[in-house]
Amino acid sequence: MKKIIAIFFILFSFSVYSYDIDELIKKANNGDAEAQNKLGKIYSDGNSTITDYEKAINYYKLSAEQGNLYAQHNLGVMYYFGKGVPKNLSIAKEWFKKSCDQKFVIACGYYKKLNKFN
């Protein structure tokens, strides 16, 4: 079982980060919400490039504002932990709610957790 999980993790890592950055930037600049979210993820994680939270936030916002549920969740995470932005649980909660409204279960978990405290 551990081998299967390790293989899945390796394959998932390659699928997220094996993109041509220049091609993603081109697509993102043309308004592609999926490319914007992927770039945000690359910049926030620092894989394949140097960590740049400012760029990550920018790309997540562009994608999230187009309704990308993953970008909405990722942006919520950035505010929840204060990565690249001041920690702000109210803003995090708003983004988690938008993602949760689209049935992204992980975002729903964060949203419910924040509702218990606010």
- Let me know: does 63 contact 39? Beta carbons within 8 Å: no
Spans of all domains in the chain:
2-117
Residue 11 has pLDDT above 70, yes or no: no
Q: Which residues contact 53 (CB under 8 A, 6 or more apart)?
A: 43, 44, 78, 83, 84, 85
- Let me know: does 71 contact 33? Beta carbons within 8 Å: yes
Domain 2-117 fold: 1.25.40
Report the predicted TM-score, pTM, of the whole model to 2 decimal places: 0.81
pLDDT one-digit tens code per residue, 43-101: 999 876 689 999 999 999 999 999 999 999 999 999 999 999 999 999 999 999 999 99
- Residue for token pair 């992204």: 104
Task: State the pLDDT at residue 90.
Answer: 97
Task: State the pLDDT at residue 9.
Answer: 44
Task: State the pLDDT at residue 18.
Answer: 55
Task: State the pLDDT at residue 47.
Answer: 73
